[in-house]
Amino acid sequence: MTLPLEGIKVLDMSRLAPGPHCTMILGDLGADVLKIEEAGPISGRRAEQAGAAGANQPGIRAEANPFDALERNKRSIGLNLKLPEAREIFYRLVKDSDVVVEGFRPGTTKRLGVDYETLSKLNPRIIYCAITGYGQTGPYATLVGHDINYISHAGALGVIGNKGGKPVIPQNFLADFAGGGMHGAIGIMAAIIARQKTGRGQMVDISMMDGVMLVAASMLSSYFRERTITPRGEWYLTGQLPHFDVYECKDGKYISLGSLEPWFYANLCRAMGRDDFIPHQNTTGAKREEIRAYFAQQFKTKTRDEWFDILAQTDICVGHVYSLDELESAPQVKARNMVIYLDHPKLGKVAQVGIAPKLSDTPGKVRGFGPALGQHTDEVLRGLGHSPAEITKLRAAGAVK
C-alpha cells in the first residue's frame, strides 16, 4: 500500500525533541528520513562551556533505542560537517533530497556551510525547515532556551497554575512538540504542496514561541477582544467551575468532568441526585463552593471506574484520569491502536505510541526501529558511489562514523 509521503527524501540534522518529533511524523507517513548525526563527541565552544559536565551530552546518541518512537522509520549516517569531505557528502545528498530539517541556533548552519542559501543553490527544489525557539528573526533569535522559556515568552506559562500560586511548569508538550515538531511537519507538508505549483522549494522558519501562541489562539482572541487579564487559576477552564474539574474518587484515582454546556451540566446534576443545582450553573461565591463540596464528597463514595460507568450512560462529559501504566489496557486507546507492538529480534514485543493521523486510503506505518548512530553510513556512501577503501579513508579522517 502506498504511503502518503512515499518518495519524499528528508535529511534530518536535528538533535533534541522538536526536530525528531517533526521527522517522526514525516517518517510515519512514508518519508525516507536519513539522520545526519554528529560523528563523534561534541567539540569547540560547547565542549568548553560544558567542562566537567561534558559526559552528559543531550542529543548525542550512540546505541539504538527500540522504545524511542521519535527515531523510528529513520536511517542514520554520522558526518562531521566541520570537515570539507563530510560537507561534500552532505551536498551530494542534498541534490537528491526534498527536505532538510535542522534545529540549530540561527547562524550555526551558515558557519558550517549547510544553510538554506547555500543548499538552495545546489537544489532549488529543497525545502529547508529550521525549528528554533524564537525563529530566525527578532531580538531573541540567538537566545538559548528550552520549552519552559518558549512558553514563558508566548504567554502560556503565565496562565498555567493554581489561584494565588506561582506558574506551574507543564511537561514539554506545548513548545517542543505542539509548537515545534507538529508545526514543523505542517509547514513542510504545506511547502511540498506549494512546490507542486511553483517548482521551487522554500525556507520554513518554525519558532516554538510562535507555535505556542498559535496553540493559544482562542485564549489570546478573548484577551484581544476584552483587553482584560484573567488571573492565573481563574480561567473558567482551569478548575474554577465545579462541573469542569477533577475529583478524587474512593480508590484514590481521579475522574474529570467537562460539562460546560447547559444540557450537559443539567444531566450531571440529575445523575448526582441534585436537580436543585441546575439553575446555578453560572453562580459564583458560596453557592459555587457548595456545589463543588457536594461533588467532592459524592465522588469519594465510589471508585473512579464505577463513577465513569454511571455518568457515561447519559450525555455527561466525563473521563478517566489515566496514569501511564493504564493506557495500554484503556479501551479507547486500544480501539484506536494508539499503543502498538513491534517485533524486535532481541527484545520480543516492544511497545510504542501509535500513529495519530488515521488516513483511510493511505495510512501511515511504522516500518522500522530507530537506528544506532551511523548504522547506515556505509550503505549511504556506497549508494553515492564510494568504494570500501574510500569509506575506510573517510572514517579514519573522522569525516564519517
| pLDDT tens string 13-59 | 999 899 999 999 999 999 999 999 998 665 555 455 545 555 555 55
Q: Please give the DSSP secondary-structure letter assigned to residue 176.
A: I
How many whole angstroms separate alpha carbon 229 and alpha carbon 219?
11
The highest-level CATH class for domain 9-215+356-396 is alpha beta
146 counts as catalytic? yes
Predicted confidence at residue 164, as pLDDT, reads 87
Predicted confidence at residue 3, as pLDDT, reads 96
| pLDDT (tens place) for every residue of the chain, 401 residues total | 799 999 999 999 999 899 999 999 999 999 999 999 998 665 555 455 545 555 555 556 667 899 999 999 999 999 999 999 999 999 999 999 999 999 999 999 999 999 999 999 999 999 999 999 999 999 999 999 999 999 999 999 999 998 889 999 999 999 999 999 999 999 999 999 999 999 999 999 999 999 999 999 999 999 999 999 988 888 878 888 999 999 999 999 999 999 999 999 999 999 999 999 999 999 999 999 999 999 999 999 999 999 999 999 999 999 999 999 999 999 999 999 999 999 999 999 999 999 999 999 999 999 999 999 999 999 999 999 999 999 999 999 999 99
Predicted confidence at residue 4, as pLDDT, reads 97
Please state whether 146 falls in left (phi above 0), alpha (psi between -120 and 50) or beta.
beta
Q: Tell me which of 146, 280, 315, 376 is the catalytic residue.
A: 146
Predicted confidence at residue 61, as pLDDT, reads 62
CA distances from 268 to 19, 163, 249, 287, 308 (A): 43, 25, 16, 16, 12
Q: Which amino acid is at 21?
A: H
Percent of the chain at pLDDT exceeding 70: 94
Predicted confidence at residue 50, as pLDDT, reads 47
Q: List the domain boundaries for the chain.
A: 9-215+356-396, 246-331
User: For residues 222-261, b (16+ Cβ closer than 10 Å) or e, as one string?
Assistant: eeeeeeeeeebbebeebebbbbbbebebeeebbbebbbee
List residues bridging with 257 in a β-sheet: 318
Predicted confidence at residue 41, as pLDDT, reads 60
Predicted confidence at residue 235, as pLDDT, reads 81
Note the pLDDT tens digit of each residue in 334-362: 999 999 999 999 999 999 999 999 999 99
210 counts as catalytic? no
Q: Tell me which of 98, 115, 176, 210 is the catalytic residue.
A: 176
Query: What architecture (CATH level 2) is domain 246-331?
Result: 2-Layer Sandwich (3.30)
pTM of the model: 0.93
